[in-house]
Structure 1
Amino acid sequence: MPFKKPHHTSDKSCMKEDEDKFKIFPRGLNIVWGNDSRYWRIPEEGPAELIQVSWLEVSGVVPITKAGTYSVSFEVKVKEDGFGWRDTDVLVMAKIGRSGKYKYQANRLSLGQNNVIPVKQLEIPVVGSSDLHFGLYEVWSGKWKGGLEIIKAVVQRLN
């Protein structure tokens, strides 16, 4: 039986570029433990659903060809039966190039909230063309978390 990779690797066809804006849908993201149905449900279309993990790492990369300031945000939803989010910071992080230094912004997701939560935007200045690496992370608390839906990530040029 062939070994199945435990992590979901991004499908570039699930990333839509419209002028200065990238919309990255769940299948267009790298999701740690995403290929294991004990931890995630990632349908062909629609949101990715976190069943349970202690290590939340959802990341992506977009090619930047124009200098300017870019924002990075995630659109997520915490389900009614969500758990592990109380008093837990979730970080949106981004950097330019593989060896760049991360900028980050901490966010709190409300326990049991059943509406779309736009996670705060993180702004990144870009000079020239490069890849912008970004992600949504909670890997420090050691708490088990679940009931989160990842709807999409957005990277947008602001100026």
Structure 2
Amino acid sequence: MASNTNPHHSGNSSLKLKKGAQGMKISPRNLNIVWGNDTRYWNVPKNDTDSAELCQVSWLEVTGSVVGAAAAKSYEVGLSVSLNPDAFGWGNYPIYIMIKRGNEEKGKWTKIVINPNQKGPFEIKGRSAKGSDHQVEGSDKLSFGLYEVWSGKWKGGLKIHHAYIKEY
């Protein structure tokens, strides 16, 4: 286990949304990963180029956020992921991507079932609803997460290469 007493990995919570044709990529080390500081459960990279690798968890929760989202825009949030050959626990229970603007109580949830036979990197994604035409305090924050916390079943072998945010 890592020497940090907090079992969870804390990413960069002050990322500024960078606009561009391809959107903004977010490295796994800039994400918040529940159980990410415990190498029995995750291997989180120390640099921006490597992937985070899920060893095994029954509580999958990976979150992030950026500031600078335009009020009247819609956004796609996704993760580029792959499964190791020995991956387990995928396909029987859905995972969810949540996207939330500012201080909304409810975000928009997208249900995804990962095919356990999927080869190579693939994307899992969700889309936000369009915001209002006027900006209110705190509404330029866009939060997102990847979750499977309800089944209690163990899963492993998922690699997160990066997250991304882009306008659509």
Please indicate the TM-score interval, normalised by the length of the shorter structure: 0.7 to 0.9
Structure 2 residue runs of 5 or longer lacking an equivalent are: none
Shift of 1:130: 1.7
Counterpart in the other structure of 1:40 = 42
- The answer on 1:113 being equivalent to 2:118 is yes
Can you list the C-alpha shifts for 1:53-108, whole angstroms capped at 9, x where unaligned?
00000000111342311111111111111001121101011111234311111111
Pair 88,144 (structure 1): closer, same or farther in 2 beyond 3 Å: same
Tell me the SS of whatever aligns to 2:125.
coil
- Partner residue, 1:61: 65
Match of 2:30 in 1: 28
Matched with 1:131 is 141
8 Å Cα contact 2:96-2:146 kept in structure 1: yes
Letter in 1 for 2:147: Y
1:92-107 alignment, distance < 5 Å: 92-107=97-112
Say if 1:101 and 1:26 are closer, same or farther in 2 by CA, change over 3 A: same
State whether residues 76 and 125 of structure 2, in contact with CA within 8 Å, keep that contact through their aligned partners in structure 1: no
TM-score (norm 1): 0.88
Structure 1 distance, partners of 2:65, 2:14, is: 13
CA contact (8 A) 1:56 1:137 kept: yes
- CA shift, 1:112, in A, is 4.2
More strand by share: 1
Q: TM-score when scaled to structure 2?
A: 0.84
CA RMSD of aligned residues (A): 2.2
**2: distance between equivalents of 1:37 and 1:15?**
29
Work out the number of aligned pairs and report it: 157
Once residues 13 and 125 of structure 2 are traced to their aligned partners in structure 1, the CA distance between those partners, rounded to angstroms, is 24
Between the aligned partners of 1:76 and 1:7, the Cα distance in structure 2 is 20
- Residue segments in structure 1 that go unaligned for 5+ positions in a row: none
Q: Percent identity?
A: 42
CA distance in 2, matches of 1:38, 1:16: 32
